[in-house]
Amino acid sequence: MRWLIVLPFERPEHMGMDWKAELLAMGHEVRTFPYRRDNPLYKNRGTKEAYEIWILRRLEAVCRQWHPGIVLVIKGGPITPGVIRRIKARADTVFVNLFPDNPLWMIPFDRIEAYDVFFTKDRYAKAALEHVGLRNLCYLPLYCVPELHHPVTLTGEETRRLASRVSLVGSCYPYRERLLSELAQYPIRLWGSGWDRAESPAVRAMVAGGVVWGRTKLAIYSGSVVSLNHHHPTNDIAGVNTRAFELAASGVCQVVDEKEALPALFVPGDEVVTYRDLDGLRRQLDYCLAHPDEARAIGQNAKRRALKEHTLRCRIEEMLAVIEERCGRSL
């Protein structure tokens, strides 16, 4: 099967590039088409509209020349219903969208409806969109990539720089900063963009570094007793974020706020440590830090579950089954 993956950027460890690698390993033909690319035109108000028209024409040309069987769009805000209709009119192509954020406020409804199947990580978003008449939704949780997410053994130098009792890897934004300001008494170390500009001196004191990728991120996870995973308040309503699967596959015990979808993915108390409110979070942190061996066991349980049920390969197989059922394709 020929897959064209339409994605924001062709960057290592970004969603879409992992799909390309896995699909190639499964024997599919795969090409990628970045719609944002690394240029200033996309974010410049004066040039964005012209740039999007140009990029959509390029997408049509690629589909016309290569004839993909499946076009997988990752997020894809600029991809219009018109371009999807024109491509489908010329070729027997299935268009699917994998949307890793909250579609309720990040993409127009007509752009959701244009796809043969629109995959969302959040059952709340799926139900809300179905309540107003959209019929092409499908729930698909996010995933881990074992080649990218796994435990590592820290060197002495890595232990000095990256080990911690409580880690958090993620960007700074006001809601997250406010949470951390309430946890100033805990030995938390932060990595990610924007933390050096946090307003709270207590939060700035937690900062250990900026954006991290690859082995550095894995060493942070493997060097932690626990890692915090507090979901974004508007991006993850009932669903579970990428970090939940990333932490699980890395074998670290994650302390995560309760989400409706979580118990079906990881067992609270056995594979993840959960909390409902700030007092509950403090209690869980106190217990885990006092019982690090139990925390490590929970992390190992999560890793086994992630590698068994929540890999990218699992999600590709689920997606293919849905496409076969809904689009009548034998894949």
> What confidence tens digit (pLDDT) does each residue in 264-321 have?
999 999 999 999 999 999 999 999 999 999 999 999 999 999 999 999 999 999 999 9
pLDDT at 43 over 80: no
- List the chain domain ranges: 2-142+311-327, 156-309
Please tell me whether residue 166 adopts helix, strand or coil conformation: strand
Residue 50 binned pLDDT confidence (cut-offs 50, 70, 90)? confident
pTM, entire model: 0.94
- Judge whether 2-142+311-327 and 156-309 match in fold: yes
231 phi-psi bin (left φ>0, alpha ψ -120 to 50, beta other): beta
pLDDT at 186 over 90: yes
Phi and psi (nearest 5°) for 223? -90, 10
Mean predicted lDDT score pLDDT of the chain: 95
| pLDDT, position 96 | 98
- Residue with more model confidence, 330 or 23: 23
What is the C-alpha separation between 303 and 306, in angstroms, rounded?
Answer: 5
**Secondary-structure class of domain 156-309 per CATH:** alpha beta
- Integer-rounded Cα radius of gyration of the chain: 21
**Secondary-structure class of domain 2-142+311-327 per CATH:** alpha beta
Residue 328 binned pLDDT confidence (cut-offs 50, 70, 90)? confident
